[in-house]
Structure 1
């Protein structure tokens, strides 16, 4: 019996990605963001990580309070990269929109906040 080759695995992975509409490198819009618990949890995680990083900086306050994720996209990389548009309240109670990038690698039980900044575009 022949042993599986790299070509065989490549073909199988390609077929899987096509069948799940996950094209490596391309972004896919997430539907039903406001009811998607995984996306909302990633938004909360992003705000928590941002707050923690700000608290460790000299003079940083990091007092944002998560409200909700209002838009999200995914991208297949070495895991899944999430592009999130998050609403959060500032310390003074003002609702602002932020852009966050998170990479999740389930096989490593890993998620990492790559970026978090005020959004130039609201919703």
Structure 2
């Protein structure tokens, strides 16, 4: 008895599609989206924050000093973007900033993409 190929495709689709969609629903992070960091106290994260402040100080002739990383997210691109909320002291007061750093670890490359004060 010969099977109808259209019937087999339909049958496989009905069996496999719910499995595919159930797996997709478990991953709430979109490709290219921002993902919260698990450990903002990791020495690598602190190093990224210090790099951001050093670069900002060079570019703007400021003298900020890192106090602490408050929050962090990563984004996988052609490398890793780090978006950090950090507290820094300017010599008169502690202020909050958002810094974005692109890192390509395999090239030993880092670049400060943005560094902005956060009102609040």
The question of a shared fold, defined as TM-score above 0.5 by the shorter chain, is answered with yes
What is the CA deviation profile of residues 71-107 of structure 1, one whole-angstrom value per residue up to 9, with x for unaligned ones? 0000011100000001000121x11100000000112
Structure 1: segments with no counterpart, 5+ residues: 1-17, 56-61
Would you say how many aligned residue pairs link Structure 1 and Structure 2? 94
TM-score by length of 2: 0.72
Which residue pairs with 1:31 in the alignment?
38
TM-score by length of 1: 0.70
Which residue pairs with 1:119 in the alignment?
118
Please identify the structure whose Cα radius of gyration is greater. Answer: 2
Which residue pairs with 2:6 in the alignment?
none
What is the Cα deviation at residue 23 of structure 1? 5.2
8 Å Cα contact 1:23/1:76 also seen in 2: no
Structure 2: segments with no counterpart, 5+ residues: 1-23
Q: In the aligned structure 2, how far is the partner of 1:80 from the partner of 1:32?
A: 16
Matched, 1:65 2:65: yes
8 Å Cα contact 1:43/1:86 also seen in 2: yes
